[in-house]
Structure 1
Amino acid sequence: MDKDSMDPGSFRLGLALEGTGWHPASWLLSSVKDAEEVFRASYWTSWGRAAASGGVDFVTLEDGLSLQTDRFGTADQARDRVRGRLDPVVTAALLLATTDIGEVVVSRNVTHTNPFHVAAQLASLAAIGPGRVTWRPQVSADARDATVVGGAETPRLRPEDVYVPTRIARRLQDLFRDAEDYVRTVRELWRTFPAESLSSGDTFLHRDMVAPLRLTGKERYRAAGPLTVPVRDTPKVAVLAHHALEPYRLAAAVADRVFVTPSQEHPIPALLTAFREIARLTPDAVGTEVYADVAVVLGDSDEHAQARLARLNDVAGFVWAPDTQLFVGTAERLTRELAHWREQFGLSGVRLRPAVLSEDGVRIVRELVR
């Protein structure tokens, strides 16, 4: 993407890092041959450095309490997939400390974690990379997660429910409302221990600036302050929101940024109209920038990209249907598409999910960003 032609600073591009890629068959067709490589620090730092040197504005890291599966909420015994992830907070600390990537978006579960712990983790990351940390609160819709951590039981969704966002939002309404309360709690905790309360002079700690806040939302989201980590830089908040009332309401209420998921049924203009209307009706709505979330399969030509996707689907044994728009074509055509979205719809940026990181991620860095 020629950033001069896109008005520098007005359109940001992100790379979604996830294992060997987002397609279920990515490992089998990746340059990564040893699964252990995905769990080494060098793998992640190399991608952080490549993204930074290639002009990518931010990278995102995923969270998950239970192992990934090909079908949502259904465990499998597949031996030809990469399963498991490094902790995103630890990985983010590594990228912030050892690479020049401008921003790391860290996903963190809010359904089965304590807001005090998450507030401290994100504040610690912000101390490592001031101005470079964004938090993506993740609502857990997988009932297996509660089993893993012994948390409160959540609605048990069927795999087919994942493709009906309105059904998800309706069944998970309480969880989205809890998530809103959770984010507000974390933000209040960040205010309890401002870094300015620490001094190098005669008074080490200005106690009157540290607030012994006790903030209680829902029973399982009880938290008490002050935080144990001084907060000099407050992370921003980003929400991934599928096309439905509750996730849009969450984003409008608490997020600085929302990733919307366009599709053939719900193109970007319709999503923008829906989100802005919900934001208008949301009390105390914050100003939320809108980004598009897009899965990509790139090639030397459109035909080559289509052949790559067909090969991936053949190896996987089924047709990949991600929960957002899938772009299949050349980096040049994708550049034109993104320029159109920015100019016509006023999007603030895009997050790209590479089907195979060693192929599509490289093309994003080398061909899309210039």
Structure 2
Amino acid sequence: MDRDLMDSDSFRFGLALEGTGWHPASWLVSPVTDAEEIFGGGYWTSWGRAAAAGGVDFVTLEDGLSLQTDRFATADHARDRVRGRLDPVVTAAVLLATTDIGEVVVSRNVTHTDPFHVAAQMASLAAIGPGRVVWRPQVSADARDAVVVGGRATPGLQPEDVYVPTRIARRLRDLFRDAEDYVRTVRELWHTFPGESLGSGDTFLRRDMVAPLEVTGAERYPAAGPLTVPVLSVPRVAVLAHHALEPYRLAAAVADRVFVTPSEEHPIPSLLQAFREVERLTPDAVETEVYADVAVVLGDTQEHAEARLARLNEAAGLVWAQDTYVFVGTTERLARELADWRERFGLRGVRLRPAVLAEDGDRIVHELVR
């Protein structure tokens, strides 16, 4: 692809790393045959290095408290699906230390975790990779998560709710308000131990610059700090926001970057209009960079891509649907579509979810971005 069409200074590419891919049947067609391999550092390092060498600007890592499942919020007993994942903070540390990838976007649950520890984890990662860490706060919409970790019971989405924005907003309103409070607390904690407080020579620490918060607007999470980790580089915050009021409000209130999820019913223009309106009505909001979040099945031709998806669906025994647009086609057509989104609607970038990492991820790295 002609890189001038998608100038990296104005449009950024992200690769969403997840197991052997985002399609449930990805394991069955992956060249990885030993399940242990995807729980080793070498697997993630190889993809981080390939992404960086291919010109990908950032990779994203998922978090999850329950084992993955084909049907949201419903446990299964599948034997031919990837189940389990490494802790994203540990994986991010490996990628930051062993690859040149520009950014690692680290998902971290905010419903069943403590803001002090997440603030310290992100600050630690930022010390390893200054300017290369982005935190994606993740609201837990699966009621199973509370049982798994022993957390407070939460109103969970039901499988039939997942693709209905109004139901998402209604069921999870309080969780998103809590998440906003949580993120504000983390941001405040990052100021309790500034990197500028570190000295040199006989002076290790300028103690007067390290102090707990005197006042916090947090209602549910009134952590005071100070952190035990100096914040040498303040991480950026990104929110994945489905088309609903509460996710949009969260992104507008606390995020530097938002990933929106287009669909046939809600194309990019209407999503942008809706988000900017929410942003305009959100107190203290600063304009947020907007990225698209797209799942992809790629092929040599349109027919080849469609045939690949049909085979994957047959192997999985289901029709693959995501919480966002699933693009099926060639990298050339995807490039044209993304260029159109950038030029007409001012998108800052895109996160791409490869159906099969070894196939679609490879095409993203070597055909789309390079």
Task: Give the Cα separation in 2 of the matches to 1:76 and 1:68.
Answer: 9
| 2:34 maps to 1:38 | no
Q: Assess if the C-alpha contact under 8 Å between 1:17 and 1:60 holds in 2.
A: yes
Aligned-residue offset at 1:232: 1.0
Task: Give the Cα separation in 1 of the matches to 2:42 and 2:338.
Answer: 31
Task: Give the Cα separation in 2 of the matches to 1:40 and 1:327.
Answer: 30
Paired AA for residue 121 in structure 1? Q
Partner in structure 2 of residue 226 of structure 1: 226
Aligned-residue offset at 1:31: 1.2
Partner in structure 2 of residue 174 of structure 1: 174
Aligned-residue offset at 1:4: 1.8
Deviation by residue 1:157-204 (Cα, 9 ceiling, x = unmatched): 211111112211111001001101111100000000011111113332
Partner in structure 1 of residue 262 of structure 2: 262
Task: Give the Cα separation in 2 of the matches to 1:196 and 1:357.
Answer: 41
Aligned-residue offset at 1:216: 6.6
| Mapping 1:229-244, distance limit 5 Å | 229-244=229-244
Paired AA for residue 284 in structure 2? D
Task: Give the Cα separation in 1 of the matches to 2:187 and 2:73.
Answer: 31
| 2:79 maps to 1:110 | no
Count of residue pairs the alignment pairs up: 369
Partner in structure 1 of residue 338 of structure 2: 338
TM-score w.r.t. the length of structure 1 is 0.98
Task: Give the Cα separation in 2 of the matches to 1:290 and 1:2.
Answer: 23
Q: Quick check: 166-175 or 274-283, which moved more?
A: 166-175
Q: Assess if the C-alpha contact under 8 Å between 1:105 and 1:136 holds in 2.
A: yes
| Mapping 1:240-319, distance limit 5 Å | 240-319=240-319
Task: Give the Cα separation in 2 of the matches to 1:284 and 1:320.
Answer: 39
Partner in structure 2 of residue 143 of structure 1: 143
Secondary structure of the residue aligned to 1:351 is strand
Task: Give the Cα separation in 1 of the matches to 2:172 and 2:181.
Answer: 15
Partner in structure 1 of residue 218 of structure 2: 217
Report the aligned-residue RMSD. Answer: 1.0
TM-score w.r.t. the length of structure 2 is 0.98
Task: Give the Cα separation in 2 of the matches to 1:179 and 1:256.
Answer: 15
Deviation by residue 1:41-80 (Cα, 9 ceiling, x = unmatched): 1000000000000000000000001100000100011001
Unaligned runs of at least 5 residues, structure 2: none
Aligned-residue offset at 1:218: 3.5
Partner in structure 2 of residue 127 of structure 1: 127
Q: Assess if the C-alpha contact under 8 Å between 1:114 and 1:223 holds in 2.
A: no
| Mapping 1:8-27, distance limit 5 Å | 8-27=8-27
Q: Assess if the C-alpha contact under 8 Å between 2:184 and 2:218 holds in 1.
A: no
Aligned-residue offset at 1:29: 1.2
Aligned-residue offset at 1:274: 0.2
Query: Taking every aligned residue pair, what percent have the same amino acid on both sides?
Result: 83
Q: Quick check: 131-140 or 207-216, which moved more?
A: 207-216
Aligned-residue offset at 1:304: 0.2
Task: Give the Cα separation in 2 of the matches to 1:340 and 1:82.
Answer: 35
Task: Give the Cα separation in 2 of the matches to 1:20 and 1:307.
Answer: 19
Q: Assess if the C-alpha contact under 8 Å between 2:156 and 2:172 holds in 1.
A: no
Secondary structure of the residue aligned to 1:4 is helix
| 2:357 maps to 1:357 | yes
Paired AA for residue 327 in structure 2? F
Paired AA for residue 22 in structure 2? W
Paired AA for residue 194 in structure 1? P
Task: Give the Cα separation in 1 of the matches to 2:62 and 2:2.
Answer: 28
Task: Give the Cα separation in 1 of the matches to 2:37 and 2:294.
Answer: 26
Paired AA for residue 224 in structure 2? A
Task: Give the Cα separation in 1 of the matches to 2:112 and 2:219.
Answer: 13
Paired AA for residue 15 in structure 1? L
Task: Give the Cα separation in 2 of the matches to 1:233 and 1:312.
Answer: 42
Secondary structure of the residue aligned to 1:5 is helix
Paired AA for residue 218 in structure 2? G
Paired AA for residue 217 in structure 1? A
Task: Give the Cα separation in 1 of the matches to 2:167 and 2:124.
Answer: 37
Aligned-residue offset at 1:140: 0.3
Partner in structure 2 of residue 184 of structure 1: 184
Paired AA for residue 342 in structure 2? R
Secondary structure of the residue aligned to 2:120 is helix
Aligned-residue offset at 1:206: 1.2
Paired AA for residue 6 in structure 1? M
Task: Give the Cα separation in 1 of the matches to 2:32 and 2:363.
Answer: 16
Deviation by residue 1:314-334 (Cα, 9 ceiling, x = unmatched): 011010111100000001110
| 2:98 maps to 1:67 | no
Task: Give the Cα separation in 2 of the matches to 1:254 and 1:50.
Answer: 32
Structure 1 segments of 4 or more deviating over 2 A? 5-8, 201-204, 214-219
